[in-house]
Structure 1
Amino acid sequence: MTALPEFQRLECSGVWRENAKTQRRDVIVSFGEATIVISDERSARALTHWSLPALTRLNPNQIPARFAPSKPEDGADQDEELEIDDTTMIGAIEKVQAKIESRRPHPGRLRTRIGMGTAGVFALFAILWLPGATTRHVADVAPFANRIELGHAALADLTTLTGTPCHSVQGDAALARLAERLKGADEISILPEALNGVRRLPGRVVAVGLPLLVTQDTPEVVAGHIITAELEAEKQDPLVSLLDWAGFGAAFDLLTTGEVPPDSLRGYGEFLLRGMDNHTPKLDAVRLEALLAEFAKVGVSSTPYAYSIDPTGESVLSLIEADPFKGAPAPEPVLEDSDWIALQTICDG
C-alpha cells in the first residue's frame, strides 16, 4: 500500500480533461491503494486511475494545482490533466509523493556516497600509509652524501648529552684501523658519557660509548657490538628510523630540497640513548645465524662478545658453541695491543 493511512478516505472535487480535444468536466477525486481515482461527479463511475508515483504537478506552488500523468516512455504527447483547488487533497498528494520519492533508489546519491566513502578510505589510507611509504622512498633514493650529513647531525644532537667525541693522535689512528678491519663503519666516534653501548647512525657513522671500552679486556667485545649494530642497520635502515622520528615533514623536505631543517632533529639524541642500559640482544634463530655469519665474515671470535652480554643466556651460549674460532683469537687480530690501549685511553686527553 502506497497511500498513507490517514488519506485513504480522502475525497474532493476537481476538473478533469481527458485530452486537448475534449471538454473539461467536473469530477470526484479520491485516494486508492497506490492511485488516485477520478470519477464522474454525477454517475460516480470511475473514469481513470492515476498512479501516484507517476503523477506530475504542472504548476508548483500555485492554486488551483494542475496535475498530469507522467509522459509515456515512447515520448508521445499526453494532454490529460486534472485541476484541484482543495488544499488538503493537494497536500496529501504531495506528501505521498515525497514519501514515495524517499523510498526510490537514487543512483546519483549512491554514487556520491560511494565516491565520498572511497575518498574517505583513500584519505585514511594516505594518513596511515603515505608517511611511512614516503619515508622509505626518501631513504631509498637519498644520496650517500645526505646520509653522511644526517649521520653527523644525529651525532651532534647525541653529543649534547654525552659530551663531544674524544680524540687523540694514537686513538684516532686506532679507530681508523678498527673501521677498516670491520668493514661495517666508515667513521667511529667515542663518546665519553651516557652511552653504554653502540649506536649505528646514517652514513655508516657509528657512536661507541667509552664505558664499553674501559670495562672490557679485549677489542673483540667492541667489535661484536659494532657487528651487531651493523646487522640491525641492515634490518632497519638508520635513515628510516631517523626520518620516522623527525616526521613526515622532514622526509618531504629531504625529498624536495635535499635538506632536513636543523630543528627537526633536536631531541633525537635523547631518543637514541633511551633504553641503552640494557643492550643484551634478543637473538632468535634467524638473527643468531645471521650474526654468526657476520662474525665469520669479518674474522672475529664471537665468544668474548657473548660473555660480555649474557654468559648464561641460551642464545648467547649458541654464540659460544658456534664460534668459528672456538674462543681462540682470530688469525688476524681485531686490533694490536698498542691500538687497543690507545682506544681505551682516547678520552684521557
Structure 2
Amino acid sequence: MTALSEYQRLEASGLWRSTPGDQRCEVVVSIGDATLVITDMRDRALTHWSIPAVVRANPGQIPAIYHPDGDTGETLELDAGERQMIDAIEKLRAGVARLRPRPGRLRLMMMLGSMAAAAALAVFWLPGAVRDHALRVVPPVKRAQIGAALEAQMQSVTGPPCRAPAGTAALTRLAERLPAKRGTGALRVVRGGVRTTATLPGGTILLHRSLVEDFEEPDVVAGYIVAERVRARAYDPLGRLLDHADLIAAFRLLTTGEPGQEALRSYAEYLLTDAPAAPLDDAALLSGFQAWSVRSTPYAYARDITGETTLGLIEADPFTTEVPPALLSDGDWLRLQGICGS
C-alpha cells in the first residue's frame, strides 16, 4: 500500500479561508487522488490543493498552517487534535520533496565528477604523457649531457673511470667494434658501484672492472655490452630515469633542459643500490649477438657457470659453427685488462 492510498480514508476538521479578508470557516479535510480536498460541513467541495504544492507556513508549530504554493492568502489551520492528519500531510510532503529534482545537487555531482575526471587524468594520464613527450623532444646532445651529469653523481661511489692510457685506447677500439645504434656508445670501466653494467642517458655504458679482469677472453665483456645495447633499445635510459623521478623532474626537463640535481642524485643512488636489470628474453639477446657478431656462449656461462638458467643462449649461439670477426687483438685485450692499473 502506498502512502497516498494509506491516508485516503483519513479526515480531519480545520479552519479555512480563501483570502486574507475572509472569515475563517470550519471545514472537513480529506486526502484524495494526489490532492488535499477541503469541503464544507454539508460535504460540498470548496477547493482542492495539489499535495506537491502544499506549503506549511509555520513548520513545527501548532496549529499547523498550510497554504497553496504561491498563494499565502488562502490558508488551512489544523489544531493539535488533528495530529494524525498533520503527520499524514507532512509525510506526503516529505515524499514529494524527495522526488523533486535538485539542480544544486546535480550541479554538485557534475562538478565532483569533473574534478574526479581531472584528478584521474592528472594521476594516470598526465605523467605518462609528459614523460613520452620529453623523450620525443630531448635531443641526443642533451641526453649525453644528462648522462654525464648522472655519471658525475655516481663517482662518489664508483670512483673516476679507469684511465690507463693503453687500456683506454683498447676500450675505444672495443666501443668501435660494438657501436651503439644511437647515442655516444662510449664505454667506461669503473672500480666499483655497479654490479656489472649500467647504461646512462646518452648511451654511455659503465662496466665493472671484473668484466675485463676476471675473464680470459673479451667475449664476456662484449656479451655484457651487447646486452646493454639491446636493453637500451628496449628501455630508453632517459625514460628509466624519468620513471624513477617525479612529474616535476619531467616538467623541469621540458622547460629547462635539466631534470634537476635531486632527480639525478636519487637515480644515481638507485642505480648503484637497488636497480634491477630490465629483463630481456633470449630471442632479443640472440638477435643482438647476431647483429654485433659476438658469441653468446661465453656471456651465458659468465651469468651462470652451470649454464642451467642460460641454456637457451648456449644452444642457440649464432656462432657455434663459424668464427665471428675478432673483438680485440690479444695485445689490446691485455692492455684493456690493465686499464685500472694495480
TMscore range, shorter length:
0.7 to 0.9
Tell me the equivalent position of 1:317. 311
Tell me the equivalent position of 1:333. 326
Look up the SS of the partner of 1:208 in the other structure.
strand
Tell me the equivalent position of 2:74. 82
| Counterpart among 152, 155, 159 of residue 151 in structure 2 | 155
> Which amino acid counterpart does residue 186 of structure 2 have in structure 1?
E
Give ranges in structure 1 of 5+ residues lacking alignment: 71-78
TM-score by length of 2: 0.82
Look up the SS of the partner of 2:113 in the other structure.
helix
Instruction: Please say if residues 198 and 206 of structure 2, whose CA atoms lie closer than 8 Å, have aligned partners that are also in contact.
Output: yes
Instruction: Please say if residues 159 and 269 of structure 1, whose CA atoms lie closer than 8 Å, have aligned partners that are also in contact.
Output: no
Question: Per-residue displacement from partner, 1:65-122 (whole Å, max 9, x unpaired)?
Answer: 673367xxxxxxxx89622355768976567434421232335533531441243133
Structure 1 range deviating more: 110-119 or 303-312? 110-119
Instruction: Please say if residues 200 and 233 of structure 1, whose CA atoms lie closer than 8 Å, have aligned partners that are also in contact.
Output: yes
Instruction: Please say if residues 158 and 191 of structure 2, whose CA atoms lie closer than 8 Å, have aligned partners that are also in contact.
Output: yes
Give ranges in structure 2 of 5+ residues lacking alignment: none
Between the aligned residues of both structures, percent identity stands at 38
Between the aligned partners of 1:80 and 1:135, the Cα distance in structure 2 is 65
Tell me the equivalent position of 2:100. 104
| Counterpart among 115, 125, 131 of residue 129 in structure 1 | 125
> How far 1:325 sits from its partner (Å)?
2.0
Instruction: Please say if residues 191 and 340 of structure 2, whose CA atoms lie closer than 8 Å, have aligned partners that are also in contact.
Output: yes
Instruction: Please say if residues 300 and 307 of structure 2, whose CA atoms lie closer than 8 Å, have aligned partners that are also in contact.
Output: no
> Which amino acid counterpart does residue 16 of structure 1 have in structure 2?
S
Tell me the equivalent position of 1:343. 336
> How far 1:315 sits from its partner (Å)?
6.0
Counterparts of residues 145-294 of structure 1 (less than 5 Å): 145-184=141-180, 186-274=185-273, 287-294=281-288
Number of equivalences? 330
Look up the SS of the partner of 1:267 in the other structure.
helix
- Alpha-carbon spacing, 1:275–1:262, altered in 2? closer, same or farther (3 Å): closer
Between the aligned partners of 1:64 and 1:15, the Cα distance in structure 2 is 14
> How far 1:322 sits from its partner (Å)?
2.3
Tell me the equivalent position of 1:16. 18
Question: Per-residue displacement from partner, 1:17-65 (whole Å, max 9, x unpaired)?
Answer: 5xx9x9777352524154222112x42322232111033679999x996
TM-score by length of 1: 0.81
Between the aligned partners of 1:197 and 1:80, the Cα distance in structure 2 is 88
Following TM superposition, where does structure 1 have runs of at least 4 consecutive aligned residues deviating by more than 3 angstroms?
A: 1-5, 7-11, 22-25, 55-61, 63-66, 84-96, 105-108, 311-315
Instruction: Please say if residues 187 and 206 of structure 1, whose CA atoms lie closer than 8 Å, have aligned partners that are also in contact.
Output: yes
Look up the SS of the partner of 1:243 in the other structure.
helix
Tell me the equivalent position of 2:68. 68
Instruction: Please say if residues 167 and 332 of structure 2, whose CA atoms lie closer than 8 Å, have aligned partners that are also in contact.
Output: yes
Instruction: Please say if residues 127 and 247 of structure 2, whose CA atoms lie closer than 8 Å, have aligned partners that are also in contact.
Output: yes
> How far 1:167 sits from its partner (Å)?
0.7
Q: What's the RMSD between the two structures over aligned residues?
A: 3.5
